[in-house]
Copies of this chain bind each other. A is one copy, B any other.
Amino acid sequence: MKTILIYSGGMDSTTLLYKLRAEGDLLHALSFDYGQRHKKELKAAAKICKKLNVPHKIVDITAVKNLMEGSALTSGRIKVPEGHYQDKTMRATVVPNRNMIFIALAIAQAVSMKFDRVAIAVHAGDHAIYPDCRPAFIKAMHTASKIANYEKIAISAPFLNITKRDIAKIGHQLGVPYELTWTCYKGLHKPCGKCGACVERQEALC
């Protein structure tokens, strides 16, 4: 398969990168600069793709940042909440329509490159707080994608129904260098260890 991977540089999508590569996919990774606070993840993404010799593009969509306003991840005025993904306070990290935008752009890239599918690393742990990571959303986007263009691009989300802990297990088997990935929402010098992304990561990797 020829796959466009939506690639953040975090632990989930890095594991998916390693998994698809091990399965023999021809890969093209796309990362999005949407003005996120934790822009550091883009450097991690570039470094890992370079290490694996996977073509990688950072797509600058900061021009549409103001369309996606209202999230702690894109606004300096909103504090990044601490805790678990299940906590209601975590809603502050939802970015308006983010995954639909990423998927729509990745489908365009797949059409223009004559690739077969778009892969995204959403997982069961995301479902509680992020509507655009849930099975019904991925299914709806797959349906829309199959009719949006003459080229019938599939949406693949192999981790959709497994947990972050399961992802870590797969990653360990594949030798994923988690020390190179970046997850923390705050994007400071070191991971904060307290935001939802840090907490979930630590629990998965321990």
Contacts and interface: CB of A to CB of B under 8 A. Distances in A.
A148 B137 contact: yes
A60 B63 CA distance: 6
Given A70-B111, A108-B68, A111-B70, A148 B99 contact: yes
A31 to B, nearest CB: 13
Count the copies: 2
Q: Which of A60, A69, A105, A143 has the most CB of B within 10 A?
A: A105
A199 interface: no
Indicate the size class of the contact surface on chain A.
35 or more
A12 interface: no
A111 B111 CA distance: 28
Contact of A149 (B61, B96, B109, B140): B96
A109 to B, nearest CB: 4
Interface in A19-68: 59-61, 63-64, 66-68
Interface stretch (A128-136, A163-171, A187-195): A128-136
A-side interface mostly: helix
Q: Which of A107, A136, A149, A150 has the most CB of B within 10 A?
A: A149
B144 A144 contact: yes
A174 interface: no
A112 B100 contact: no
Contacts of A68: 108, 112
A67 B109 contact: yes
Contacts of A137: 144, 147-148
A100 B140 CA distance: 12
Contacts of A104: 97, 100-101, 103-104
Given A101-B101, A140-B140, 9 more contacts: A63-B63, A64-B105, A68-B108, A91-B150, A94-B150, A96-B107, A97-B148, A101-B105, A132-B149
6 tightest A-B CB contacts, nearest first: A140-B144, A96-B111, A97-B108, A104-B104, A100-B104, A96-B108
